[in-house]
């Protein structure tokens, strides 16, 4: 039998410790939550992706009474980003959330499994790590890659 341990590096920072590029991305993700349509979960999520061409593409969750017909913010952003800029690589993604009262969530929230797998596809396509920034009002988590959010991912096995 073989046993191993999986370690995921996470930096916990506050907004003021981010560089200007990451602050802009966090602000974009926060603003994207305002475009969320979440009448069922009352959980508004926004995502912002920085592309290698300098563009920032955002997305917000869009719910539908016929679950699971809605789409998460992360997949809304990543599919639109690639459809609009197919030659640009993903560099960083920021994800923010708030409740319908407008309050930002206190602790950072990570993408669902489907979003992690979808984002991993674009990290693989980029051929390099895509930094992940998970935003909360108390602190912000920075992960070095999408793969760090999904250590036992379904991949193209050799």
**Domain ranges (residues) in the chain:** 11-149
At residue 54, the pLDDT reads 98
Q: What pLDDT, in 10s, does the model give residues 86-113?
A: 999 999 999 999 987 889 999 999 999 9
Give me the pLDDT at residue 4, please. Answer: 87
Catalytic residues: 74
pLDDT the model gives residue 102: 86
Q: How far apart are CA 78 and CA 111, in angstroms?
A: 12
pTM exceeds 0.75: yes
Half-sphere exposure (Cβ direction) of 64: Cα atoms closer than 13 Å: 7
Q: Quick one: pLDDT at residue 122?
A: 96
Q: Which one is the CATH code of 11-149: 3.40.140.10, 3.40.800.20, 3.40.50.300, 1.10.760.10?
A: 3.40.140.10
Q: What is the pLDDT of residues 25-79, one digit of tens each?
A: 999 999 999 999 999 999 999 999 999 999 999 999 999 998 788 999 999 999 9
């Amino acid at each position: 039998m073989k046993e191993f341990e999986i370690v995921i590096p996470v930096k916990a920072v506050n907004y003021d410790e981010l560089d200007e590029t990451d602050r802009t991305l966090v602000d974009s993700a926060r603003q994207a939550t305002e475009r969320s349509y979440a009448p069922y979960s009352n959980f508004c999520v926004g995502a912002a992706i920085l592309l290698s061409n300098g563009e920032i593409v955002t997305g917000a969750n869009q719910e539908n009474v016929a679950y699971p017909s809605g789409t998460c913010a992360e997949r809304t952003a990543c599919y639109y980003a690639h459809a609009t800029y197919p030659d640009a690589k993903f560099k960083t993604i920021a994800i923010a959330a708030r409740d319908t009262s407008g309050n930002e969530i206190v602790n950072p929230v990570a993408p669902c499994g489907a979003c992690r797998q979808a984002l991993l596809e674009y990290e693989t396509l980029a051929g390099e790590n895509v930094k992940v920034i998970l935003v909360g009002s108390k602190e912000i988590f920075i992960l070095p890659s999408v793969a760090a959010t999904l250590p036992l991912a379904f991949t193209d096995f050799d």
